[in-house]
Amino acid sequence: MLVIDLTQPLTTLLCVAVLVALIFLGHELKNSIAPGIALGLSTLLIVLHAVQLYVFTDAYANYTAILSTSIIYDFAFVLVSYLAYLWIDDIEAKVKNKKSIDDSLEWFWKKI
């Protein structure tokens, strides 16, 4: 099974670039689907790394530290992409004059 090693700087920069590009695309199109895709990909990475860490312990014994660190990076990507999804959803709701999915961070968006 392929191990996506997020401890490598090039791989981390590539993941960050994809995340930023999807957030920027969602902001420009004023559509929350692009950050939703980023959120889905980040969640998929967590599931992939967790399966590799906990199911295939004998085959990936030398990758334990790498996979554990990668899961921490994955959680950071999920947090950023979730906040971006809520932000773009709020922008989309204002443009299309519809109700946002979640208005609990309205105080935060006013400060940005």
Render each residue's pLDDT in the chain as its tens digit; 112 residues.
Answer: 577 888 889 989 999 999 999 999 999 998 889 999 999 999 999 999 888 888 876 766 778 888 888 899 999 999 999 999 988 888 888 888 876 666 666 666 676 6
* pTM passes above 0.85: no
Q: Which of 103, 64, 99 is nearest to 86 (CA)?
A: 103
Q: Which residue has the tokens 């921490």?
A: 72
What single letter denotes the amino acid at residue 5? D
Residue 64 pLDDT: 84
For residue 20 the two structure tokens come to 């930023």
Q: Which residue has the tokens 């993941």?
A: 15
CA distance 101 to 22: 19
Q: Name the DSSP class of 100.
A: -
> Can you give the residue ranges of every domain in the chain?
9-107
CA distance 35 to 89: 9
Residue 72 pLDDT: 93
